[in-house]
Structure 1
Amino acid sequence: MMRLRIMFSHAAVVVMAVACGAGLVGLALFAPLWVWALIPLGVAAQMLNEYNLHRYVFHLSPPRAQWAFNLLYMAHYGHHDFPTNTKLFFVPIWVALPMLLVNGGLLWGALALFGVPQAGWIAVAIVPVGGVLTFLVYEWFHMTAHVNVPKTRVERYVTTLHNQHHFR
């Protein structure tokens, strides 16, 4: 219960969970059944997105411009300075929401441009459902790695890997 309270005290998690829920309801009520098979594409895309954003943006060399440094500090550097500060566990809403909108819009636009039928529902299955579910699971394991709670075997493994990231 503590972990859910921590997670849902962050705007990005709440907004993304609502987006995912709305996507699931939309798919269930209106989308063709075959679109559900595309959700794993969103899982894979989000894993690549998460890795690349973290590796190539969040761990950039500190920018010289103070405003850029401040943004990166709020987005990620601060988490490394204060790894137990729950306010710094999750990506800020001003990173998460634009990523959701840009990724969903670009995918829908590209599919529609090429005349793919059901482009909107395909984009919903891949981005706010598959991608955001993966985002939420990632954030759950990331938060769990930073709190002192009983952990499952998988959570202990992820904690070990994540500690190597922080303390190498």
Structure 2
Amino acid sequence: MIPTLRILTNMGSLQRLAPFWVLGLVLFILNFSLLAFVAVIYGVVLQFFVEYVMHRFLYHREPPQQQGMFNDLYRSHIGHHEFPTNPEFFTGGDNWYALKFGLVAAALHTVVLWPILGLSSAALFGTVALFLGSVSAFTFYEYCHTLAHVNVPKGWFGNKVTQSHLRHHFNDHETTFHVSFGMGWIDRLFGTSYSREDARERFDRDTILSLGMDPEDLRLIEARKAFGLPKSPRDRAV
């Protein structure tokens, strides 16, 4: 557990979100009510859906042809699949992205709810939902994701998380887009649950690490070079 937490504390996105999580917690305590409680639950559930949608539709989108844009996607996710034990690639390259996303989402919730709840209640709901509820769920996601990739004693919980997530990496990258423990129902809801038969049919040993791309694709070669990685993911330390 300690090595996992050490990696989490060094994550730039969580460091930048931490003061806003404290703000959300303070507002929740000072304004404890049914509205604040609902905001936390809503924020948690919202984040689990965001986790799924971003993973499936943003990180697993069609790789861009333009090298600069491809490098951005490589740094965000493809590199993590090619070198899944490298903690530098556990998260994307933009440490400010999660905070910017949270600020915009909180503002949008405030604007939409303003006519219904009034400005102060709408702002309270948006802030508590996004910065207490969603950030808590996001931290849990990062914990589960990191735990799945580090080589430490894991126990029942850690083994369940690892088994589920590594199916996505090494068996079928077109399924199991949820990462957080207990969120498999989201994959079932959207038809992307793991199937051993489908995985066996789709599995390609040569391309599984590069998300279906030819590992010798020039875009991959240039991206690895740009980020100082080995020439081939087969050269990585396992």
Quick check: 1:7 aligned with 2:8? yes
Partner in structure 1 of residue 100 of structure 2: 98
1:121-132 equivalences in 2 (<5 Å): 121-132=124-135
Q: Is the 8 A contact 1:7 1:13 kept in 2?
A: yes
Q: Is the 8 A contact 2:43 2:133 kept in 1?
A: yes
C-alpha separation in 2, matches of 1:37 and 1:44: 11
Which string of whole-angstrom CA distances, capped at 9 and with x for unpartnered residues, describes residues 100-143 of structure 1?
1121111111112x241300111122111111100000000000
C-alpha separation in 1, matches of 2:162 and 2:126: 32
Quick check: 1:149 aligned with 2:141? no
- Tell me by how many angstroms 1:27 deviates: 2.0
Residue identity opposite 1:89 in structure 2: F
C-alpha separation in 1, matches of 2:153 and 2:15: 24
- Tell me by how many angstroms 1:32 deviates: 4.2
Quick check: 1:110 aligned with 2:112? yes
1:18-37 equivalences in 2 (<5 Å): 18-29=19-30, 31-34=31-34, 35-37=36-38
SS in 2 for 1:93: coil
- Tell me by how many angstroms 1:90 deviates: 2.2
Q: Do the aligned partners of residues 107 and 131 (structure 1) sit closer, same or farther apart at CA in structure 2, a change above 3 Å counting? A: same
- The two structures have a TM-score, normalised by structure 1, of 0.92
C-alpha separation in 2, matches of 1:46 and 1:77: 22
Residue identity opposite 2:10 in structure 1: S
Which string of whole-angstrom CA distances, capped at 9 and with x for unpartnered residues, describes residues 11-62 of structure 1?
1021123321221022223x24221232111111001111000100000111
Runs of 4+ in 1 over 6 A off after TM superposition: none
Residue identity opposite 1:100 in structure 2: G
Residue identity opposite 2:142 in structure 1: E
Count of aligned pairs: 166
C-alpha separation in 1, matches of 2:73 and 2:111: 29
Quick check: 1:120 aligned with 2:88? no
Q: Is the 8 A contact 1:111 1:119 kept in 2?
A: yes
Partner in structure 1 of residue 67 of structure 2: 66
Partner in structure 2 of residue 138 of structure 1: 141
C-alpha separation in 1, matches of 2:107 and 2:78: 29
Structure 2, unpaired ranges of 5+: 172-238
C-alpha separation in 1, matches of 2:98 and 2:78: 16
SS in 2 for 1:162: helix
Partner in structure 2 of residue 44 of structure 1: 45
Aligned-pair Cα RMSD in Å: 1.4
Higher relative contact order by CA 8 Å / sep ≥ 6: 1 or 2? 1
Sequence identity (%): 36
My pick for the range that moved more, 68-77 or 88-97, is 88-97
Structure 1, unpaired ranges of 5+: none
